[in-house]
Copies of this chain bind each other. A is one copy, B any other.
Amino acid sequence: MKIIRQGTAAFEKELSRLASRQVLISGQVRSSVEKILSDVARRGDAAVFDYTRRFDGVRLTPKSLVVPAADLRKAYRKIDPVLRRSLETAARRIRAYHEKQRRSSWWFSDREGANLGLRFSPLDAVCLYVPGGKASYPSTLLMTSIPAKVAGVKDIYVASPGASLDSNPVLLAAAYVAGVTRVFRVGGAQAVGAFAYGTKSIPAVNKIVGPGNAYVAEAKRQVFGRVGIDQLAGPSEIVVVADRFADPTETAWDLLSQAEHDELATSVLFTDDAELAASVSTRVLALARLSPRWKILQKSLEQFGRIFVLKNLSAAPGFVDRLAPEHVELYVRSPAPFAKAIKAAGAIFLGSDTPEAVGDYIAGSNHVLPTGGAARFGSPLGVDDFLRKTSFVEFSPKALRALGPSIVRLAQAEGLPAHAGSVAVRLVGRLRKAPPKKSKGKKSR
């Protein structure tokens, strides 16, 4: 891994390059997604089946589209019992963490006589997208479906390309553990379109959530407004902040655990210890060469793997905020002050016993996190993403008398006479029925 010292010209240049990374989508992707979506909107199932045959080489029928519930149970029973228990431990812990995120509706009355409230209620139906190929992860299925369950969503549909599903019994077992409503063998932009518009065989949902490739991300962006979406997922990222107490081998593994995801994954180390920098760099390369994922590692480390040696580690939080990474690992003796100082990150892992991988699987916190700098404004997926809020307002006659005249003034100032009228007509009407008491100091009407 390239080592760059603070104070050199390369330092600022490399840091800026990494800070400006983002989820880029080409014009070609944009226009083919537009075509696919409008075709799905028009032709429904027929279009979905055509694109699935063309892109995934799979022939779907309305019947083969849905994985039978019995197959989920079968997969659950078939997989290695130790793995099954691990899935269940993960599910239990994810559930426990997300139950802390439950929201309660509230309601209050104020002295002017107005009752105001905010209600939280679950979305009716959601689609959880689980990508195919190299990123088809049972853990992601748990991370998206359990918050939806906790929120109280009734219809939880999973969409995933058929070929990946059929070769991945652990994914089916995870769907069984999570208790999703139905699993659909369909992926790509056509799946996003189908769940946004609804087809004969695929139900329209309120929201589409979960990671996917550039076509899926762009399709989500294009259907946004028609349905809700979460964020646009990009390649995974880690920033490790390590002091001289960090174990170089463990640090090397942590960087590799991010780099192995994707050729575009980012792995960065900030340290104030040049010796640690050197030994981590050596170990990363040695371990990478032994990995079955060597080809991915080579490319990702070459482009997006960097070790920055700082003059003083206390500057690290500022640099981390510039990168606004998905994951931050604080492999330092006293992680708390660093955690407090870092503002923009999806998830922060504290101390030597918390490698980032604990968050991917079993800690309980969500692993669907903002990437590509989106941690500047975005958040981990959670129960909030599966709730809708509704405001409640109830005025008493007293409240309308007290506040009505201000409404009339403001509406008039905005040139909206019927807004003013809807209040004035009531003030006058109520006056006829029961004259208001004189309020102190204010001119009445």
What residues make up the interface of A, taking CB atoms closer than 8 Å to B? 22-23, 80, 82-83, 85-87, 89-90, 93, 96-97, 100-101, 106, 108, 110, 114-116, 118, 121, 123-124, 137-139, 170, 206-207, 221, 224-228, 231-232, 247, 249-250, 253-254, 256-257, 259-261, 287, 291-293, 297, 335, 339, 342-366, 369, 372-380, 382, 384, 387-397, 399-400, 403-407, 409-411, 413-414, 416-423, 425-426, 429-430
Bound-state Cα–Cα, A404 to B426, Å: 67
User: Is B394 in contact with A350, judged by CB distance below 8 angstroms?
Assistant: yes
Bound-state Cα–Cα, A210 to B418, Å: 23
User: Is A418 in contact with B358, judged by CB distance below 8 angstroms?
Assistant: no
Specify which chain B residues have a CB less than 8 angstroms from the CB of A96 in the assembled complex.
Answer: 110
Specify which chain B residues have a CB less than 8 angstroms from the CB of A260 in the assembled complex.
Answer: 416-419
Bound-state Cα–Cα, A313 to B323, Å: 56
User: Is B116 in contact with A407, judged by CB distance below 8 angstroms?
Assistant: no
What would 9 A/B residue contacts be, using CB atoms closer than 8 Å? A110-B364, A116-B364, A227-B376, A228-B378, A250-B422, A287-B418, A343-B388, A351-B395, A362-B403
User: Is A379 in contact with B372, judged by CB distance below 8 angstroms?
Assistant: no
Bound-state Cα–Cα, A206 to B395, Å: 36
With A377-B228, A416-B260 in contact, do A406 and B124 touch (Cβ < 8 Å)?
Answer: no
Specify which chain B residues have a CB less than 8 angstroms from the CB of A232 in the assembled complex.
Answer: 224-225
Bound-state Cα–Cα, A425 to B400, Å: 68
Choice from B287, B347, B429 contacting A421 with Cβ under 8 Å: B287
Bound-state Cα–Cα, A80 to B362, Å: 61
Choice from B358, B382, B391, B413 contacting A393 with Cβ under 8 Å: B358
User: Is B388 in contact with A339, judged by CB distance below 8 angstroms?
Assistant: no
Q: When A and B form their complex, which 4 residue pairs have the shortest distance between CB atoms, in order from nearest?
A: A228-B377, A379-B389, A86-B406, A256-B418
Specify which chain B residues have a CB less than 8 angstroms from the CB of A393 in the assembled complex.
Answer: 347-350, 354, 358-359, 363, 365
Choice from B351, B395, B416 contacting A394 with Cβ under 8 Å: B351
Choice from B108, B292, B355, B363 contacting A417 with Cβ under 8 Å: B292
Q: How far is the CB of A421 from chain B (nearest CB, A)?
A: 5
Q: How far is the CB of A103 from chain B (nearest CB, A)?
A: 10
Choice from B378, B387, B395 contacting A363 with Cβ under 8 Å: B395
User: Is A137 in contact with B414, judged by CB distance below 8 angstroms?
Assistant: yes
Bound-state Cα–Cα, A353 to B393, Å: 10
Q: How far is the CB of A118 from chain B (nearest CB, A)?
A: 7
User: Is B372 in contact with A377, judged by CB distance below 8 angstroms?
Assistant: no
User: Is B344 in contact with A225, judged by CB distance below 8 angstroms?
Assistant: no
Q: How far is the CB of A268 from chain B (nearest CB, A)?
A: 16
With A225-B372, A362-B403 in contact, do A347 and B419 touch (Cβ < 8 Å)?
Answer: no
Bound-state Cα–Cα, A359 to B137, Å: 45
Closest B residue to A414 by beta carbon equals: B137
Specify which chain B residues have a CB less than 8 angstroms from the CB of A410 in the assembled complex.
Answer: 83, 86-87, 90, 138-139, 361-362
User: Is A391 in contact with B413, judged by CB distance below 8 angstroms?
Assistant: no
User: Is A414 in contact with B116, judged by CB distance below 8 angstroms?
Assistant: no
Closest B residue to A356 by beta carbon equals: B422
Specify which chain B residues have a CB less than 8 angstroms from the CB of A137 in the assembled complex.
Answer: 414
User: Is B100 in contact with A261, judged by CB distance below 8 angstroms?
Assistant: no
With A116-B365, A384-B384, A391-B347 in contact, do A417 and B293 touch (Cβ < 8 Å)?
Answer: yes
Bound-state Cα–Cα, A397 to B348, Å: 17
User: Is B414 in contact with A254, judged by CB distance below 8 angstroms?
Assistant: no
Give the interface centre of A80, A228, A346 by most chain B CB atoms within 10 Å: A228
With A391-B366, A411-B360, A414-B138 in contact, do A406 and B90 touch (Cβ < 8 Å)?
Answer: yes
User: Is B361 in contact with A417, judged by CB distance below 8 angstroms?
Assistant: no
User: Is B363 in contact with A116, judged by CB distance below 8 angstroms?
Assistant: yes
User: Is A101 in contact with B118, judged by CB distance below 8 angstroms?
Assistant: yes
Specify which chain B residues have a CB less than 8 angstroms from the CB of A101 in the assembled complex.
Answer: 118
Q: How far is the CB of A134 from chain B (nearest CB, A)?
A: 8
User: Is B257 in contact with A418, judged by CB distance below 8 angstroms?
Assistant: yes
Specify which chain B residues have a CB less than 8 angstroms from the CB of A335 in the assembled complex.
Answer: 394
- List 19 other contacts, CB 8 Å, given A228-B378, A343-B388: A86-B406, A93-B403, A118-B365, A221-B221, A225-B232, A226-B373, A228-B377, A247-B429, A260-B419, A335-B394, A342-B390, A346-B391, A353-B399, A354-B395, A357-B420, A358-B407, A358-B423, A361-B411, A380-B391
